[in-house]
Every structure is written in structure tokens, then in C-alpha cells.
Homo-oligomer: A and B are copies of this chain.
Amino acid sequence: MTLRDLSVEDLVDRARSGDRRALGRVLSWIEAGGARADEVTAVTHPLAGDSHVVGITGSPGAGKSTLTGQLVHVLCERGRRPAVLAVDPSSPLTGGAILGDRIRMDDLAGEAAFIRSVATRGHSGGLALSVPGSVRVFDSAGYDPVIIETVGVGQVEVDVVGAADTTVVVVTPGWGDAVQANKAGLLEVADIFVVNKADRPGADDARRDLELMLDLSHVTGAEDPTGRRPPIIMTTATEGRGAPDLWQAIADHAAHLRRTGHLAARQADRLRAEVLNRIDQALEGRARELLDQEDGRTVLDRVVARELSPTAAGRQLIDSMLR
């Protein structure tokens, strides 16, 4: 009997008992979306909820992959079973170091860990659906923590990573990296900051920039609702320095969330966002269908003829869709 013949329940069972090929197949189904992904979600959702979800983001070239690899290494040494969901950027702005980093991460991981890369190109909507599904699969299979690593370029990536239990924002020494992270909305979602490449000139300046921005964010009321100030961890990932400190900071944050009762609130927020994304995407599909049907085409023709404004057309079509 090959994997192909197994039911979703059986495959999830195998993944839970450590079958990596079965786990890979279940993840593929989630990534492909559709009915089978929904079935996987239905099976894994009741089994999940125990793993700590860590999001790691920062600008390209900040050394996130190397840092994540070191973190995985530390976790495996301590007898944990971490999973990494690496959201591969395909923006025009990234360099060519990704594959190399990824291979290095696999080397460090060993059998206890599971690394999965997903491409984002043209799939930001799909990504918003598949990432929670993949995290749930890892969670139900006993991987803990589940680390989502991504480049913080797009809003979807910020949303996905920002919805983790613990969000780590990585900056590097150099002109304005911290300032740019702030601009991109990463300051608000960060639970922990990392200044990576801390052996380089300007590392202390980067730290000071972050401290200053944290001071200012307290003034402007953007502080953590739990009254906690994000710590700043200095790392040199290429040499493995600082990774144990980063894990300690993550563990401290997890304990803080549990103590304050915010862990459950974060999980509930994440589920709410996932349900909302599913609704949004299904509704978008329905709207596209409507525009391709006769009613929709008639309305569009009037817009093109400039008899009806796009706003009025939108309202009319929405009214015809909703109860």
C-alpha cells in the first residue's frame, strides 16, 4: 500500500507517529488548497493548539535563514522537535543567498526537525490560507515550536508572521534598517528584536535606534498591551552566537503570554484572521463569477460606456450578492 492510497485520516496518523514522507504529503495537500486541504484541516484542527508558534521576519539579507537554522540547532540539542515553515520570497529585491542558507539550515537540523519551504510568488492570497494550515499540521504532528520564517516585505507576510504567538523582528547594523522596519509596521508586531551580524560596525547604533523607537512608541501609545517591552537580542548567526539567548527570550515571552492569559487571546485572534481570510477569498471568487455572468457583464458594459460609475456598479452588484 503506497501513501497515495491512504485516507487523509490515515496519513495524518502516520505523520503524527513520525512518518516524514506522510507529513510531507499532508503539507503538499495544504499548499495545493482545495477540498483535500479542507479535509486535512478538519482532521488536524481538533488535534492542534499545543505548539508555540514563532514568527521570524526582517529585511532580505538580515541573515534570518542562518539565524533560524541556529535556533533549530539549539532546539534539537535540547531535545525539542522544531518545525520551520520557510516562506520563500520571490520579490525582485532579494539576492541569491537563499538556497545556500536553506541548505545550511537543513544541515543543522537533523532528524528531529522538519524544514518546509513554500514559495510566495503570485500566491499571497493562497499563502494567507496555507500557512495557518501548515502550522496546524506541524502542531498536530507534535512539532514544537513551529517557526514561520519570512521576509517582511508584503502586507500578507507581516500579517502571517505578526499573528504568531511570538514575533521576532531581525535587523542588521547599517543605515536605517531599524527605521525601515518601523516604517514597514514591524515595530508594532515585534515581541523580540534581534540585531544580527552583531560583530559588524554599527551594531550598537542599531540597538540604540531600536531602544529609541521603543521609547517613542511608549509615548505614542503603541506599547505592548501586556505592558511588556520587547527585549533586544544581539546575535552573530554565522558563528552561532546569540541563538541560545534568542531561544531563552522566546521561552520567556511564551511564559509571559501564559501568565497573563494572552496566549489564548493570540490563538483566538489567529483563528479569527484565518476564518476571515477564508471568507474573503471565497467571496472574491463569487464576485469574479458574478462578473462573468450575464448580469455582471451587463453592469460592466454600462460602466465601460460611462453610463454608470464604478462605485455605483460595485454597490449594485454587492446588493445582488448579499442577503
Instruction: Using CB atoms and an 8 Å cutoff, list the residues of chain A in contact with chain B.
Output: 37-38, 41-42, 45-46, 48-49, 59-60, 90-94, 96, 121-122, 124, 132, 152-155, 175-177, 180-181, 183-186, 264, 267-268, 271-272, 274-276, 278-280, 282-284, 286-288, 290-291, 299-300, 303-304, 306-307, 309-315, 317-318, 320-323
Contact = CB atoms under 8 A, between A and B. Distances in A.
Report how many copies the assembly holds: 2
Contacts of A155: 122, 124, 154
Nearest to A306: B46
A287 B291 contact: no
A310 B274 contact: yes
> Dominant SS at the A interface?
helix
A177 to B, nearest CB: 8
Contacts of A124: 155
11 contacts: A42-B311, A46-B306, A90-B183, A92-B153, A153-B153, A271-B303, A271-B304, A278-B310, A280-B280, A283-B287, A321-B323
Contact of A283 (B271, B275, B283, B323): B283
A310 B267 contact: no
A272 B284 contact: no
A174 B152 CA distance: 24
A274 to B, nearest CB: 5
B267 A318 contact: no
A276 B303 contact: no
